[in-house]
Amino acid sequence: MSSLTEFLAAQQQLVDQALDRLTPPESALPETIHRAMRYSLFAGGKRIRPVLCLQAAVATSDNAPGALEAACSLEMIHTYSLIHDDLPALDNDDFRRGKPTNHKVFGEAMAILAGDALFTLAIQTLTRIDGLDAARKLALIEELSFASGTVEGMIGGQVTDIEGERQTPTAELLDRIHRAKTGALLRASVRMGAIAARGDTQQLEAISQYGEHVGLAFQIVDDILDVEESSAALGKTAGKDAVQGKITFPAVYGLEASRAMAQDECRKGHEALRIFGDRAVRLHEIADLIVDRKS
Amino acid sequence: MSSLTEFLAAQQQLVDQALDRLTPPESALPETIHRAMRYSLFAGGKRIRPVLCLQAAVATSDNAPGALEAACSLEMIHTYSLIHDDLPALDNDDFRRGKPTNHKVFGEAMAILAGDALFTLAIQTLTRIDGLDAARKLALIEELSFASGTVEGMIGGQVTDIEGERQTPTAELLDRIHRAKTGALLRASVRMGAIAARGDTQQLEAISQYGEHVGLAFQIVDDILDVEESSAALGKTAGKDAVQGKITFPAVYGLEASRAMAQDECRKGHEALRIFGDRAVRLHEIADLIVDRKS
């Protein structure tokens, strides 16, 4: 069995090739929008959501038609949300992963439309999966669209986060923001893999638990890294989140308690995988990686 | 039979009630986004796309489960496109139908997210139609997402339109913009009605023809009205389109030839309805209304 690093690199390559195949080429008219979509889609993302989706499918069965398309649709939605989040009216970020953000390269109008277009492409991608019955394709679309929506979904979390900058940080508000803003799509990632693999109710329930715990651990570690990186690299005591007045786990619970919470969520994630046995070995490794990562 | 005016008022009310039922209430958390979505959704739209969808269903059969949901999903997509189009980075409009645009009331960040959210809601709405088989629900989603997309769809038309402002107006460019920017969604409106009504291939083909011709007539008349209204009301010789350097039918063909083209498209629209007989009486009336309207 290959090392996790080699394995993840191979999975990323698989996803990148599929994304390339599923996205209109730069030469398709009108060219600008397809260039803008591809710029952000291939800007060096780690493909966490697609890999979670693919591995949830592997844990569930040997045959998962459409798991790769589902994986790509998740990355398209994630990328659309990043493009819109980075806009001047929202987080106003000029750089992402060391590269100029979409609107810095293509202008605000094209960035807004490129985000819209990636959302549309995600849905189109799910409608045209080969070899999967209509009911399951529909279940995938339902899963993705509710995880992206305003009620306990990604857009709702984004709104609560923006409004939360003016509120007292409480555990309840933090929980609501996280579950919606990043949690819903991470949960949907593993559920969509299991749906494509024709998982039964018990498998779907178990994979949802895994997704929730690992999603929460992911967010806690993100918040911790923001504090630690800023302290180390910049000699400051507060990171970007604190400067923006964002509600974070370290701000609500403190650093030590946050670290313990991340470990605890990771442990619960492992437990949820029990019914999958050896088929879930990569999902176990990914849970550990999420908590132990340094960036 | 009621007059067309009374009939359209009743149809609008039907659509408004369904939109109200299908959209999260203003009290749903986070409240701001639902207020922003509802502000634009209930800002006095004429519901042309929903009415076309409903009447295409009526023309096709007596039983069309989901035609009303399909009609509402079209209005959600149309509203999302208006909110994003009005943004400062795009058309920068402060007013629409005499009311402040979404970003003037809720700010740019919320307007971007409200547009995103209405798109998401349109897809969610189609996934949860009662009484329609999964294959047809999927066909509706496919229809809507491709009509909204970059390749010969709404977003593609918007991009070509923006880039066209810097190019020589030609008949070919005008045709490409129109077909994508407004034509694709108008065509999808009638097709979705016919799909919900379980139309056969011949019916779908005929209704598509109607949608294309009436959609083209609609756009030509829009362009003519822009020139005429500005000349009459403002004493100017050029309307907003001309000021913005937009490519329009009067600019390419002249006013008289444009009027003749609209009449000709309307006539072809009537012809396409032949196979539906008396069931299409309202679609005939709507075609005439589109060409004869004064605003």
Instruction: Assess B14–A contact: CB distance below 8 Å, yes or no.
Output: no
pLDDT at residue A194 tops 50: yes
Mean pLDDT of A164-177: 86
Q: Which residue has the tokens 């009621």?
A: B2
Across the interface, whether the CB atoms of B33 and A145 are under 8 A apart is answered no
On whether any CB of chain B is under 8 Å from the CB of A113, the answer is yes
pLDDT exceeds cutoff 90 at B77: yes
Cβ of residue A119 closer than 8 Å to a chain B Cβ = yes
Cβ of B155 within 8 Å of Cβ of A127? The answer is: no
- Between A165 and A78, the more confident residue is A78
Interface mutation target, options B110, B123, B247, chain A, most CBs of A under 10 Å:
B123
Residues of A in contact with B129 (CB under 8 A): none
Interface test with B, best of A86, A87, A112, A142 (most B CBs within 10 A): A112
H or E segment to which residue B266 belongs: helix B255-272
Closest residue, chain A, to B146 (C-alpha): A124
Nearest to B155 among A117, A128, A141 (CB): A117
For position A24, which CATH number holds? 1.10.600.10
Q: List pLDDT tens digits, range B258-283.
A: 999 999 999 999 999 999 999 999 99
Is residue A98 within 8 A of residue B120, CB to CB? The reply is no
Is the confidence at residue A168, as pLDDT, over 90? no
Query: How far is the C-alpha of B20 from the C-alpha of B34, rounded, in Å?
Result: 11
- Contact criterion met (CB < 8 Å) for A33 and B159: yes
Q: What is the pLDDT of residues B233-255, one digit of tens each?
A: 544 445 677 777 788 999 999 99
Residues forming beta bridges with residue A263, ordered by sequence position: none
- Give the residue from chain B lying closest to A32, CA to CA: B159
Cis peptide, bond prior to residue B169, ω within 30 of zero: no
**Which tokens sit at B27?**
């009290």
Q: With contacts defined as CB-CB under 8 Å, which chain A residues touch B35?
A: none
CA-to-CA distance for A39 and A18, rounded, in angstroms? 16
Q: How far apart are CA B102 and CA B112, in angstroms?
A: 9
CA-CA distances (angstroms) from residue A80 to A115, A229, B91, B178, B195?
A: 4, 26, 21, 26, 30
Residue of A nearest to B132 (CA): A135
Calculate how close chain A gets to B71, using CA atoms only, in Å: 18
Q: How many CB pairs under 8 A join A and B?
A: 147
Query: Which among A124, A142, A149 has the least Cβ separation from residue B117?
Result: A149
Compare CB distances from B149 to A117, A134, A158 and report the shortest one's residue. A117
Q: Which residues contact A12 (CB under 8 A, 6 or more apart)?
A: A46, A47, A51
Give which of A120, A128, A165, A195 to mutate to test B binding, by max B Cβ within 10 Å: A120
Residues A51-55: what's their mean pLDDT?
98
Query: pLDDT: is B294 or B110 the higher one?
Result: B110
Q: CB distance from B121 to chain A under 8 Å?
A: yes
- Residue of A30, A34, A135 lying closest to B163 (CB–CB): A30
How confident is the model over A79-95, as pLDDT tens digits?
Answer: 999 999 999 999 999 99
Write down the ipTM of this complex: 0.95
Interface test with A, best of B159, B166, B178 (most A CBs within 10 A): B159
Give the number of domains in chain B: 1
Q: What share of chain A is helix, strand, coil (3-state, %, to 5)?
A: 75, 0, 25
Query: What would the pLDDT profile of A214-250 be if each residue is shown by its tens digit?
Result: 999 999 999 999 888 766 654 444 567 777 778 899 9
Q: Is the per-residue pLDDT at A254 higher than 60?
A: yes
Does B24 reach chain A within 8 Å, measured CB to CB?
Answer: yes
Across the interface, whether the CB atoms of B120 and A33 are under 8 A apart is answered no
Q: Where does residue B232 rank: exposed (0-12), middle (13-18), buried (19+ CB within 10 A)? A: exposed
Average pLDDT over all residues of chain B: 94
Chain B CB within 8 Å of residue A84 CB: yes
Angle between helices B154-164 and B184-196 (to 10 degrees): 170
Domain that holds residue A30: 4-292
The whole model's pTM is what? 0.95
Note whether A31 contacts B: Cβ–Cβ < 8 A: no
- pLDDT, residue B294, reads 81
CA distance B258 to chain A (A): 26
The arithmetic mean of pLDDT across residues B107-128, rounded, is 98
Beta strand B95-96 pairing with B99-100: antiparallel
Q: Give the tens place of pLDDT for each residue, B118-140.
A: 999 999 999 999 999 999 999 99
Does residue B104 sit at the A interface (CB-CB below 8 Å)?
Answer: no
Q: What is the H or E stretch that residue A47 is in?
A: none
Identify which of A29, A84, A123 has the shortest CB distance to residue B116: A84
Task: Quick: pLDDT tens for B2-12.
Answer: 799 999 999 99
What pLDDT is attached to residue A189? 98
CB-based contact (8 Å) between B251 and chain A?
no
Give the residue on B whose Cα is nearest the Cα of A89. Answer: B109
Strand partners, B99: B96
